Structures are given as C-alpha cells and as structure tokens.
C-alpha cells in the first residue's frame, strides 16, 4: 500500500520544531501542535469534514503526596473515498495537581494538555512527525544530511512531557530481561498497584505500553522506584509487634 500520505506528513518544517532551552526538559524537542493540525488539514481537508477527533475518555489517577495525573483517550478518523476510517486511538497525560516547594499547584489546562498529547500519539499512526520519532531529525538538522549532536538522555523524573521526544541515540538500548519483567510484576502485585494506573504511568514516563517494552535501564529505574515505595509502606518493628498482639491501629511520629 502507498505511503504517500505517511511520507508527506512525516517531516515537519524546522519552524515547527523548538528545542526546549531550560527547565527539567532542557534539550528535548517540542513539536508545534498547530503544525499537526495544519498538516492533517492539508492532507485530508478541514477538521470535522475530512478528518475528526473524538474525546473517548477522560480520567484521573492519584499519585504520591497529593499529586493527581490527568489522562485522555482520543479517537481520530480520516475520510477516504467517502468512507470514514476505523478509529485511530491515542492516550496522553498531564499533571492536574503537582507538588511544588510552595505546596500543591492545580493546573486548569491539564485535560487540554492531555488531549493534545493523546492526539500527537494517535497521529503518529498516520505518519505525522514520523521523522522525529524515527530519530531522523534532531531538532536542528536532519541526521542523514549532517553529523548529529550528542544526545540528551530523557530522565523519568522530568515528569510527563507533552509534545516532546527523546534526542537521537547512537545505539539501540537493550530490552528488559525476563527477570526484570518478572520482578516488576511481583512488586506491582505486592504493592497492590492498579494495572491500568501502572501502565498509564509507564506510558507517561517512557512512552511504552507495557513493562515488557521497557529497556534494561528503564526497568532498573522502575524496580528501584517500586522497591522504594515498598520500603516506605513497611511497618516498623514496633507497629508489627503491636499488630501481632491484636492492636488494631497505632500511630507513630517517626
């Protein structure tokens, strides 16, 4: 089948790209959401007539320390030969409530950002900005037309990244080992973490849909985080002793 539309949408112009200069996402590439809309309009016609987006679901997941994540699922459709395509899904996320040094901060644009993020994921399937995700463009020049700059590693503590992608890497990282995947599953079950919430978090941080899609380094980060969470949840010896003697509840100020 022809890739004419995919190829047409794959290479955004330089003016649609911006390297983030500061903050936790420094060095990442930002893709203009408005360019995506323009590219889709040029390929399929006016939004709502030649292509359309439905918001299928909006939900939140509680995080640590009062933080709340907002997620969105969208369905994209395109019109070809007077027939609407099957739905093209995308899931994205943002922070609704974030913990900062001054306290908790609410984001009144969280759902809008989550929907924008979800659209970018869905439109990948049509080839929109594919050269960015395929590591053919580093935000300054095409890699196949000149030497690439040193890549910037993405850190999960950077949080959710709307409209951002990893810088190109020289070698494909190793995938998580079976032992790592098994340990993640064991810890997740032990901590009673909801499966949907867990994989939503993986997608948010690493842009993967399942723990088996993690790299070895990413799996190591996840395991460390789960072990830390497990350690925080463990009762102290004093509490365990009290429980063993039938105490229903005890509060400590340690």
DSSP 179-219: HHHHHHHHHHHHTT--HHHHHHHHHHHHS-SSGGG-BHHHH
Q: How many CA atoms lie within 13 A of 219 on its CB side?
A: 20
Residue 48: CB atoms within 10 Å = 8
Domains, the chain, ranges and CATH?
9-165 (3.30.390.80), 172-254 (no CATH)
The C-alpha atoms of residue 102 and residue 240 are separated, in whole angstroms, by 35
Q: Could you give the 3-state DSSP secondary structure of residue 93? A: strand
9: closest CA among 46, 39, 50? 39
Per-residue pLDDT of the chain (254 residues; tens, 9 = 90+): 578 888 888 888 888 887 767 666 666 677 888 999 999 999 999 999 999 999 999 999 998 889 999 999 999 999 999 999 999 999 999 999 998 888 999 999 999 999 999 999 999 999 998 887 776 655 444 444 444 444 444 444 444 444 444 444 445 678 888 888 889 889 888 888 887 778 777 777 777 778 888 888 888 888 888 888 888 776 555 555 555 555 444 444 43
């Amino acid at each position: 089948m022809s890739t004419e539309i995919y190829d047409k949408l794959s290479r955004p112009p330089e003016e649609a790209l911006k390297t983030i200069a500061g903050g936790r996402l420094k060095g990442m590439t930002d893709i203009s959401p408005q360019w995506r809309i323009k590219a889709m309009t040029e390929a399929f016609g006016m939004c709502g007539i030649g292509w359309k987006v439905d918001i299928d679901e909006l939900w939140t997941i509680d995080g640590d320390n009062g933080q709340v994540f907002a997620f969105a699922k969208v369905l994209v459709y395109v019109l070809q030969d007077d027939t609407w395509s099957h739905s093209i899904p995308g899931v994205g996320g943002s922070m609704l409530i974030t913990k900062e040094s001054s306290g908790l901060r609410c984001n009144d644009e969280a759902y809008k950002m989550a929907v924008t993020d979800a659209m970018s994921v869905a439109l990948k399937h049509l080839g929109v900005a594919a050269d960015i995700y395929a590591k053919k463009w580093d935000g300054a020049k095409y890699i196949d037309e000149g030497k690439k700059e040193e890549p910037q590693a993405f850190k999960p503590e950077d949080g959710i990244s709307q409209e951002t992608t990893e810088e190109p890497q020289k070698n494909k990282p190793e995938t998580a080992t079976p032992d790592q995947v098994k340990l993640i599953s064991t810890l997740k079950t032990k901590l009673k973490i909801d499966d949907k919430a867990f994989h939503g978090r993986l997608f948010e941080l690493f842009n993967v849909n399942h723990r088996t899609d993690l790299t070895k380094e990413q799996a190591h980060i996840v395991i460390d985080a789960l072990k830390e969470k497990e350690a925080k949840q463990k009762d102290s010896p004093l509490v365990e002793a009290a429980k063993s003697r039938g105490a229903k509840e005890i509060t400590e100020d340690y």
